[in-house]
Structure 1
Amino acid sequence: MKKINKVYVLLASVVLMFSMKSNAQIVKAEIRATGLTCSMCSNAINKQLKALPEVTNVETDLNTNTFTVTLKEGNELSPKTFKEKVEKAGFFIGSLIITAKSETVSKSPYIIVNDKKNDATEVQFQVVDKGYVTEKEFKKLSKSYKDIATYVANSEDDFHIKILN
């Protein structure tokens, strides 16, 4: 009888581990790039983003220089991945808006800078750190978030986010 109980506990533990891992993920990223002057520029970014195995689709809007990246379920990407890919193509991020499972933003390395609450299963947020907004916007945000010690420290391992919905 004791052996059967141990099997049930072990089985329940394994199921719980796998179900928890699948909740933390980015669903979609909207990247507005800066410095683009032609369609060849957008092709360079498009190529970098499509090279990620987690990407299922990239839609490009040449009028706004926005790339909407749809991702596979269960991915473990962070905003840093998108920044690196855009910079590898020779450009910069002017804005990064992410749609993610709500459980994702409740964990480190995400730090919420506004008090907006969201009970939905998915949450949309903007990364407001240096390198994820324009230089002008970052200067403005630095004044607004000067009381947040981690924002002032400007660590590349923390992602300060503003909940949008």
Structure 2
Amino acid sequence: MKKLLILLIAGFMTLAASAQFSKASLQATGLTCAMCSNAINKALQEVPFVASVKSDIKNSVFNIVFKENESVDIDAIRQAVEDAGFSVGGLKLTGQFEQVAIANDKHIEVGGTTFHFLDVKQASLSGEQTLTVVDKNFVPARQFKKFSNATKMACIQTGKAATCCVKDGVKQNARVYHVTI
């Protein structure tokens, strides 16, 4: 029994360290001119773990490159956009994965951040993969409603781990990001 527990803990620790996000694509809403785009661009460049930002004004998209070997705080990205006076309409995170097993309604720790996978089939992520954040304030309300109906777990409404998440080893009230592929 002890050996099994040790193997499970070692496997979980390996899983937590088996991915690193390198870039993101953020779509902002509420932009009306180049000055709006510039405000978001400047706000994102001031986020400590952001290495660079390139904006696509025509599509209101910001391509963000993260600093190597630094933790990515997803809420800090959203907060920077909101502090500039705008909203996030979409956020896609891209990183390198090494055999990370995912399944629908499963919680996975990636780089110290807990992700709850929604509307996915059981798979193993390897190589470069992109996750789409589908939490409130990261997608339009209509899209959030679609994804929130895909699970019966309470954490989707709050973004905080509830009793439903504890079974996957997530601490009560820890931040949980809901994602799909």
TM range (shorter): 0.7 to 0.9
Match of 2:104 in 1: none
Distance 2:122 2:54 in 1: 29
Match of 2:153 in 1: 148
Q: Structure 1 unaligned runs (5+)?
A: 1-18
Give yes or no for contact 1:83–1:132 (8 Å, CA) kept in 2: yes
Moved more, 104-113 or 91-100: 104-113
Distance 1:21 1:106 in 2: 8
Residue 116 to residue 34, structure 1, CA distance change in 2 (3 Å): farther
Q: Structure 2 unaligned runs (5+)?
A: 1-13, 101-106, 161-173
Give yes or no for contact 1:32–1:93 (8 Å, CA) kept in 2: yes
Q: Aligned-pair distance for 1:21?
A: 8.8
User: 1:53 aligned to 40, 48, 54, which one?
Assistant: 48
The SS at the match of 1:29 is: strand
Give yes or no for contact 1:23–1:74 (8 Å, CA) kept in 2: no
| TM-align CA RMSD | 2.5
TM-score, normalised with respect to structure 1 = 0.76
Moved more, 29-38 or 75-84: 75-84
Distance 1:117 1:23 in 2: 15
Task: Indicate whether 1:94 and 2:89 are aligned.
Answer: yes
Q: Aligned-pair distance for 1:115?
A: 2.2
Question: Residues 20-70 of structure 1, C-alpha deviation per residue, up to 9 Å, x if partnerless?
Answer: 997553210100000001010011100011112322221111111000001
Give yes or no for contact 1:22–1:74 (8 Å, CA) kept in 2: no
Q: Any residues of structure 2 matched to 1:1-165 within 5 Å, and which?
A: 24-102=19-97, 106-107=108-109, 108-113=113-118, 114-115=120-121, 117-145=123-151, 147-155=152-160, 157-163=175-181
Equivalent pairs counted in the alignment come to 144
Q: Percent identity?
A: 33
Give the structure with higher Rg (CA): 1
Moved more, 96-105 or 30-39: 96-105
Higher strand share: 2
Distance 1:111 1:42 in 2: 31
TM-score, normalised with respect to structure 2 = 0.70
Distance 1:20 1:117 in 2: 14
Moved more, 37-46 or 136-145: 136-145
